[in-house]
Structure 1
């Protein structure tokens, strides 16, 4: 059960290899249900990936509503379907982080981007 309704917003970026564009977009039209279930178990909601083609940039945004990001990320990284998904999609990407070798490792694969502005409005 999530510990907060506010949560933590996260934004991450990575480069999509140009030759992998069609395949990456295709597989994300039908993300494996077990991968989605693992995200929910890790208290990740409102997850989107945007693609800025001119720069080959993938931009992921999500909301984390748990109480221990490191623990939930580690648990998610042990999920067998998630590991298979990452093995497939990591090969389509280029990390901006020196020494990164793939998702779920000691060195982050996606680069976390700090939030510099937020406007939530009044409804």
Structure 2
């Protein structure tokens, strides 16, 4: 997935991620996400994670209902823009897989 940072909020976003709240990390893990990494180059973000659960939609709904995660998104969301200008995505846009090596 990819997103852009609002240049004026770039450092705020990076600071938040240097100190991710433990309860947010716990929810992410409880919802079946592993090996989650966010890469940054300039004002562009790329995110990658592996899902090991059995019901992705239900786990995503559980994460979205979590109070700490909602507060986290309220802090991080304003720092982000969709990757593609004019996109209706709130911020992160999924990427289409072009190649994968197991």
Partner of 2:45: 58
Structure 2 unaligned segments of length 5 or more: list them.
none
Q: 1:114 and 2:99 equivalent?
A: no
Deviant stretches of 4+, over 3 Å: none
Structure 1 unaligned segments of length 5 or more: list them.
1-11, 103-108
State the Cα RMSD in Å.
1.1
Q: How many residues align?
A: 99
Where do residues 34-45 of structure 1 align in structure 2 (5 Å cutoff)?
Answer: 34-45=23-34
1:74-112 CA distances to partner (integer Å, 9 max, x unpaired)? 0000000000000010000112431x4x4xxxxxx4111
Give me the TM-score of the superposition, normalised by structure 1. 0.76
Bigger radius of gyration among the two? 1
Quote how far apart the aligned CAs of 1:118 are: 1.4
Give me the TM-score of the superposition, normalised by structure 2. 0.91
Quote how far apart the aligned CAs of 1:71 are: 0.7
Helix, strand or coil at the partner of 2:98: coil
Partner of 1:6: none
Larger helix percent = 2
- For 2:16 and 2:92, the matched residues in 1 are separated by 18
2:35 pairs with one of 34, 46, 66: 46
Helix, strand or coil at the partner of 1:111: coil
- For 1:28 and 1:17, the matched residues in 2 are separated by 15
- For 1:67 and 1:94, the matched residues in 2 are separated by 30
